[in-house]
Homo-oligomer: A and B are copies of this chain.
Amino acid sequence: MAERTTVTPWEVSGEIDYNRLVKEFGIGRIDQELLNRIKKHTKEIHPMLSRGIFFAHRDMNWILDQYEKGNEFFLYTGRAPSGKVHLGHLIPWIFTKWLQDKFGVELWFQFPDEEKFLFNNQLNLEDTQKQMYEDMLDVIALGFDDKKTHFIIDTKHADLMYGPACKVAKKITFSMVKSSFGFNESTNTGAIFYTAMQAVPAFLPSIIKKRNIPCLIPHAVDQDPHFRLTRDILPKLGYYKPASIQCSFLPPLSGVGGKMSSSKEHSIYTTDSPKEVERKIKKYAFSGGRDTIKEHKEKGGNPDKDVSFQYLKMFFEPNDKKLAEIEDKYRKGEMLTSELKEIVIKKINSFLKQHQKKRKEAKKKLQKFIYKEK
């Protein structure tokens, strides 16, 4: 029986068919031509791009047109605090940092502290706000430029955001959010309003700087319904449609095809100890190997189904040659699942050791990142 697949900003479940999403959402595939064009500016291509982790976009060519004409864009991404940050969250942020470095542009990073509260009866606002400060440490730890990065918090910066959000909301009817997000008459009025708040960072820098600035949003594909609406509305308010570059999801330990989630088990958190990582990978990471060592050596494993291999591919082994070697050996049965797992455990723990160190240091820098009105 086929599991029902759902991809909305608030729920991702079932086996995700990214090809179908591209069609359904009407987003563009990132092709070789676009990669070449990006490379003209960035000199190198991030593995998340060449390996198709970032696989889709809207108006990337327009962003590059503007950039080439000297009309610099800004980046906008975000994080709605609720549960702990896991490895999957880091993917769009790491890529966003790469874009910031390569293009030398500003990043506006939204923390919609009300979002998960509005969509989850179990959460209270104080908890999501407390979690938010933890999340900020993870973002800062990735090395964003504090002079070019502005954190905006929906409740705290509402004096800047609520007025512009009302301008957006005035153009969005209930029937529009009903069809975009599947809302019904029992949906609460905060949730109904919320998408307008998520639209604001796409033009807030234009308001603040009093000139129309192109916006590029790196985000996971589940957020597209928000930004489809944003793109419909912003031109009506005299602003550019924001462009986007969209990634797939890091799978949970339990198997490829889904999305790692803090609300489910089987996630690796940025605060996990080396022992926890080892235990989780060994116990839970879905294997593409055969039932017995003998069979594995004879017939080989399937790296496409192997979560450990996918983590290397999506995140932890940037070297294409090394990755290809591992893939080849695993496919041929020369490498066992246990050996593959040892590699990924080492890689994750080496990353997390650095990350956790930088995460600690981030506490001192936090106030520098939070946007202050001049």
Chain B residues, CB < 8 A from A185: 173-175, 178
- Which of B158, B183, B188, B192 sits near A162, CB closer than 8 Å? B158
Contact A173 B186 (CB under 8 A): yes
- Which of B156, B157, B168, B193 sits near A192, CB closer than 8 Å? B193
Residue A167 lies at the interface, judged by CB distance under 8 Å to chain B = yes
C-alpha gap A118/B168 in the complex (Å): 10
**Which residue of chain B is the closest to A183 with respect to CB atoms?**
B174
**Which residue of chain B is the closest to A229 with respect to CB atoms?**
B189
C-alpha gap A183/B158 in the complex (Å): 26
Contact A166 B192 (CB under 8 A): no
Contact B190 A189 (CB under 8 A): no
Residue A170 lies at the interface, judged by CB distance under 8 Å to chain B = yes
C-alpha gap A175/B189 in the complex (Å): 9
C-alpha gap A269/B173 in the complex (Å): 35
Question: How many identical subunits does the complex contain?
Answer: 2
Quote the shortest CB–CB distance from A187 to chain B (angstroms). 6
C-alpha gap A196/B178 in the complex (Å): 20
Contact A189 B174 (CB under 8 A): yes
**Which residue of chain B is the closest to A119 with respect to CB atoms?**
B170
Residue A212 lies at the interface, judged by CB distance under 8 Å to chain B = no
* Known contacts A174-B185, A193-B193, A196-B190; is-contact A163 B169 (Cβ 8 Å): no
Contact A177 B189 (CB under 8 A): yes
Chain B residues, CB < 8 A from A114: 162-163, 166
Quote the shortest CB–CB distance from A101 to chain B (angstroms). 32
**Which residue of chain B is the closest to A163 with respect to CB atoms?**
B155
Chain B residues, CB < 8 A from A171: 188
C-alpha gap A259/B331 in the complex (Å): 81
Can you sample 8 A-B contacts with CB below 8 Å?
Answer: A158-B163, A168-B190, A169-B188, A172-B188, A173-B187, A174-B184, A189-B193, A190-B193
20 extra interface residue pairs, beta carbon distance < 8 Å, beyond A118-B170, A170-B188, A171-B188: A114-B163, A117-B166, A125-B163, A125-B166, A154-B162, A155-B166, A156-B159, A158-B158, A162-B162, A170-B190, A173-B185, A173-B186, A173-B188, A174-B174, A174-B184, A174-B186, A189-B192, A189-B196, A190-B196, A192-B192
